[in-house]
Amino acid sequence: MDKQTNQTPLSQTDVKTTAQAPSRWKAFLKKKWTFPALYLVAAALILALIVWYPNPDSYVIDEGKEQGEGGVEVTGPQHPTAQEPGETVPVNAPTQLSWPVPAGVSVSVVRGFFDDKADKAAQASALVKFDNTYRPNTGIDLATADKKPFDVLAAADGTVTRVEKDPLVGYVVEIRHNDKLTTVYMSLEDVKVASGAQVKKGDVIGKAGRSALEKELGPHLHFEVRENGEAVNPQKYLTQAGQPS
């Protein structure tokens, strides 16, 4: 006796649907926009995964916190800590210069720096008279009360860039301290350094002497500070400790 297979016969509609399914898929693939659209969808999915996936560099090992398994604790991305109120952030403070005279030598500022913003009396006292003309003083002049010579010291570490004798201001020594700051020592005699020498703060570079430009001052030191080549008031940089009167 033959075994009968229980199969439900396909209706005409089912046969038509089954036959149409492959043809519809083929028709979809034949459309010009199909593959570009699929490419854009795939690219969007890949980009989403890249953005979502955590960057390993954004995790840090924090040894200061309680350690977990393995002896270290991994924390999430770190953000800069906000500055606490009253906390100061170091900036490029100006180089501090020492007064270019030995400790124990009492000198005074006998002629100050000519400041455009100073009052008329201060400006008048900072003028240098020579050959019936007046010129602004571009530094400060230091001298002792008894008009005696004294040793002149380097105001900071640096490189000697100029040593020469000038007919008006005597021997001149220039020392470069960094890319923007130079100190200049005039009215010198018995110079102890040469151009190109490296000096340390407090090294003796010469003695205070006389100059034709300011001969009325007697033995003195004319001291200048130049910032990016421009003369500035030396007291902007000189330390307050041991400041002459």
Question: What is the model's pLDDT at position 68?
Answer: 46
Residue 149 has pLDDT above 50, yes or no: yes
Task: List, for residues 151-164, the tens digit of each pLDDT value.
Answer: 999 999 999 999 99
Question: What is the model's pLDDT at position 80?
Answer: 39
More confident residue, 245 or 83: 245
Which of 87, 218, 198 is CA-nearest to residue 146? 218
- DSSP per-residue string spanning 174-236: EEE-SSSEEEEEEEEES----TT-EE-TT-EEEEEB--STTGGG-SBEEEEEEETTEEE-GGG
Which of 140, 137, 123, 125 is CA-nearest to residue 208? 140
| Phi and psi angles of residue 120, each rounded to the nearest 5 degrees, phi first | -60, -40
Distances (CA, A) of 81 to 16, 78, 84: 70, 9, 9
In 3-state terms, what secondary structure has residue 105? coil
Question: What is the model's pLDDT at position 42?
Answer: 72
**Mean pLDDT over residues 11-36, rounded?**
58
- DSSP per-residue string spanning 73-86: -EE----PPPPPTT
Residue 69 has pLDDT above 50, yes or no: no
Domain residue ranges of the chain, discontinuous segments joined by +: 12-62, 107-236
Distance between CA atoms of residues 184 and 160, nearest Å: 10
Least confident span in 25-29, 139-143, 155-159: 25-29
More confident residue, 77 or 186: 186
Distance between CA atoms of residues 189 and 27, nearest Å: 103
Task: List, for residues 95-124, the tens digit of each pLDDT value.
Answer: 789 999 999 899 999 999 999 999 999 999
Residues 6+ apart with CB under 8 A from 120: none
Number of H-type helices and E-type strands within the chain:
3, 14
- The identity of residue 60, as a single letter, is V
**Domain 107-236, second-level architecture:** Distorted Sandwich (2.70)
Least confident span in 7-11, 115-119, 166-170: 7-11
